[in-house]
Amino acid sequence: MSYPSHHSRDSHPDPDPDKDMHTGTRLQLGARPCPAYLADLCAFVDGELDAPSLTRLVAHVGGCSGCHDYTENLRTLSALNRQSAQAAERALVGRVDPSGLFASITRHLVDDKRSALARLFYELGKAYVLAGNRGLSARRRQSVAVHGRTQPIRSTEARARRTLREAEQLGQAGGVPASSSSLLMRRSRELFTPSLRDDGALARGRQFLEEALALDEHLDEARLYLGFSHAVAGRPDRARLQFRKVCREARNPVHRLMAVQSLGRLHAEDGDYRRAIECYEEVVLAERAGQEPGLFPSFLNLAVNYAKVGRVHDAVARFVDLVDRFPERRAQVRELLTRKGTFQDLLERDHSLKQDLLAKAPALFAA
């Protein structure tokens, strides 16, 4: 006895076996790779094939249509599954001569190494700048909300050296002509020369951060720490240039807010409390500010600067908000307030302000 089917073969024909079931893209027929090269082909598509293996593979693919078509299929499917149009463009391989294909692939791999090197230089610059700041006297040292965990210097330098060496080897193996990228790589190598090691942590940190931005001008975290390093070194003019550039161009809204916060700090250090308030208000009113630990200083500094310009009611309200919004930070806020000498002097002079704070925010000001 036959059973009724919910789907008729005539109304629902079998799918095309040469199309990808998810994308509907027709694949190359007869794309059968040589078993001996299958692992290298997969590593090549993932961008993980070393330069010597890549040289052998391209020579083989140039004369093997099966491996060539199989590679195109893998790279096409990989591109279609990526979100980035730029990544898709890099992933697609046209039918070009083997030498041209090899050079194109090598350039993309060098670019990937360049991006990785920029991140490593950022980590090194950040670590050196923070170490240099810690080594300053208490009067010169500046507080900073560290963006992410600091990487150990020695192991990060080793990784940077290795990445730089791999990028140079790829360029040599692929016959990539001299370009701005290769020139930058050569300049990057100079950061590891012995003559630069005695410049001090702050100077060395700036060198790594500047090189990170030369490799990737959109690395906003590096620009924020570069601005901080200038501020610590007593160059607020240079610091402002970096922070303003992040404000204008950063793609991440949190990075823009951190730059605004840093500008507020510079205004406050210059005694321009009203402009500092404008910066801190912009940060505090942002939707995500309360969830970003690095933006917490704006909440505290806004209250302090309100007090400095005589806006007592606003200052008291902000300190009360600090207690309610960040109960886990009460001890930290009390400790930070003891370091703010100008504010402490203000409390001693303005007894009305002090009494209001004692009455309405005792968690922060009670003895």
**Residue 284 maps to a domain:** yes
Q: Establish if 275 belongs to a structural domain.
A: yes
Query: Which of these three, 95, 123, 147, is where a domain ends?
Result: 95
User: Range of 277's domain?
Assistant: 248-367
Q: Is residue 202 part of a domain?
A: no
Last residue of a domain, one of 95, 114, 130: 95
In this structure, is residue 174 part of a structural domain? no
Enumerate the H helices of the chain as residue ranges.
38-45, 51-61, 65-80, 85-91, 98-134, 153-174, 180-189, 201-215, 220-232, 236-249, 253-269, 273-284, 296-308, 312-325, 330-339, 341-349, 351-360, 362-365
Q: What is the pLDDT of residue 198?
A: 56
What pLDDT is stored for residue 184 in this prediction?
Answer: 58
Q: From the first residue on, what is the mean pLDDT of each consecutive set of 10 residues in the chain (367 residues)?
A: 37 43 44 81 76 76 80 68 48 47 60 88 95 86 77 93 82 54 67 69 94 93 96 95 96 95 96 97 94 93 96 96 94 92 93 93 88
Is 118 among the domain residues?
Answer: no
In a domain, 220, yes or no: no
Tell which of 61, 95, 129 closes a domain: 95
| Predicted pLDDT of residue 66 | 83
DSSP output for 270-310: TT-HHHHHHHHHHHHTSTTGGG-GGGHHHHHHHHHHHHHTT
> Tell me, what CATH number does 330's domain have?
1.25.40.10
pLDDT at 305: 97
Which pLDDT value is given to residue 277? 98
Q: Report if residue 28 sits inside a domain.
A: no
64 domain-assigned: yes
| Number of independent structural domains in the chain | 2
